[in-house]
Structure 1
Amino acid sequence: MQRRTIHIDESPIRLEKWRQYLPNWLKRFLPSGGGNAEDHHGKGIFGFVVFLLSESIVFLSFILTYVALRLTHTDWLPPGVKGPDLSTFVMINTVILLSSSFVIQPAENALRRNQLNKFRFLWLTTIAMGTYFLVGQGIEWSQLDFGLTTGLVGSTFYVLTGFHGLHVLTGVILQVTMLVRSFIPGNYNKGHFGASVTTLFWHFVDIVWVFLFSLLYLWQA
């Protein structure tokens, strides 16, 4: 029998002391005691969390720039421009996107239990919800009374929503890829890392939209 190689935890901060107080859903995203060399899933998840943290810094820089510009410019809206409208259409689009997190998580859970049909149905539903959001955002853009070059309100709005929309599109593409792979016999027998990180990425996209929605629409209301 091949012996397992154990990585020694040499980090200066003993995370294990604090890890025991965290909920189980959060524990799986944090390293524990160095970990087994064969634990590719756990290490991959941790690496992806680090990637999402770097993405968070990019979004945070955009958000802080937006806040700073809003607070320091009294002429935020050019004459005749009313800015983004908190319409029923926008609110429905937002509810659909945020609700998709409550669909994709049960889908991943179903895959863990090898319930492929349930996974496919819920996963496909999430794809439809994400696609609906993208189409809705495109329709909203076409109806706005300002463009990318319309002062600060135009440049900041399109950069923030466009960058987030690019992440939504990436998430949808990843979901389609994972759905197609589910039809390959035995594809998920040895693990479901791809589905796990796609789910995590989608939660990240939804959380970011909560902040952007608050800044771009609620601040305007």
Structure 2
Amino acid sequence: MQGSTIDEYQVSPNSEPSAEGAVAAHEEHPDYRVLGLIVFLASESLMFGGMFASYLIYRGVSATWPPEGTEVELLVPAINTIILVSSSFVIHNGDVAIKKNNISGMRLWYIITAIMGVIFLGGQVYEYLTLGYGLTTNVFSNCFYLMTGFHGLHVTVGVLLILGVLWRSRRPGHYGETKHVGIEMAEIYWHFVDIIWIILFTLLYILTLF
């Protein structure tokens, strides 16, 4: 019709977009779900920050820290730290693999990451069972269980997210070179969990022992 704007070409409803068009759409229209996740993690950081601040205040006003009978051991937490920090590099390999359209490689790296997360949680449970003090023993133990338990909850959620990615990857074409937002979100969340643990490990173990 005269005076109307006509596209240079038309795409039929049943036609598949080209790889170049998919890449262009991916770059021009970012998925704001990632932004939503970052905002959520920022709010979680504030919650952890409040716990860290409370812990430091209690430590500052206490004559002896930790109180007698609530000593911490370093071996199991140190092993757990190595496992969790290493898992960040492992999960990143999965993200690199999917951006090369390597589905099997992504699955392998994400399976390894999930296993490392479960091992971390197992180490935390073992530590709880062998500490010799409980949640209500004193202020230190209360802070210790609250912060490590809350972090452990986040690790559990992270493992479930990874398993969710693996489950959805069973569908052909669900993830690929230009379709990997879910994979990126799982990776970002996992990096967040690792960063929080590094801070926790420093406050609860390194500074307490040294």
TM superposition score normalised by structure 2:
0.83
Task: Tell me, yes or no, if structure 1 residue 50 matches structure 2 residue 36.
Answer: no
Partner of 1:199: 187
**8 Å contact kept, 1:77–1:151:** no
2:147 and 2:70 map into 1 onto residues whose CA distance is 18
Identity value in percent:
40
Runs (5+) with no aligned partner, structure 2: 1-6, 9-25
Task: Tell me, yes or no, if structure 1 residue 127 matches structure 2 residue 117.
Answer: no
Partner of 2:129: 142
What's the CA shift for 1:40?
A: 4.5
Give deviations 1:71-124, integer Å, cap 9, x for gaps.
112254444x1422112x221111000000000011011112110111111110
Larger RCO, structures 1/2 (Cα 8 Å, 6+ apart): 2
Give deviations 1:43-95, integer Å, cap 9, x for gaps.
2222221111111111111001100001112254444x1422112x2211110
In structure 2, give the amino acid aligned to 1:99.
Answer: S
Larger CA deviation: 175-184 vs 185-194: 185-194
Task: Tell me, yes or no, if structure 1 residue 213 matches structure 2 residue 201.
Answer: yes
Runs (5+) with no aligned partner, structure 1: 3-35
1:107 and 1:65 map into 2 onto residues whose CA distance is 37
In structure 1, give the amino acid aligned to 2:123.
Answer: G
**8 Å contact kept, 2:114–2:162:** yes
2:203 and 2:42 map into 1 onto residues whose CA distance is 21
Partner of 2:82: 95
2:64 and 2:204 map into 1 onto residues whose CA distance is 16
In structure 1, give the amino acid aligned to 2:62.
Answer: H
1:82 and 1:156 map into 2 onto residues whose CA distance is 12
Q: Which of residues 161, 164, 180 in structure 1 aligns to 2:148? A: 161
In structure 2, give the amino acid aligned to 1:65.
Answer: S
The number of aligned residues is: 185
**Moved beyond 6 Å, runs of 4+:** none
| Structural mapping, 1:97-112, within 5 Å | 97-112=84-99
Partner of 1:86: 74
TM superposition score normalised by structure 1:
0.79
Q: State the Cα RMSD in Å.
A: 1.9
1:76 and 1:146 map into 2 onto residues whose CA distance is 15
Work out which of the two has the higher radius of gyration on C-alpha atoms and give 1 or 2: 2
**8 Å contact kept, 1:78–1:150:** no
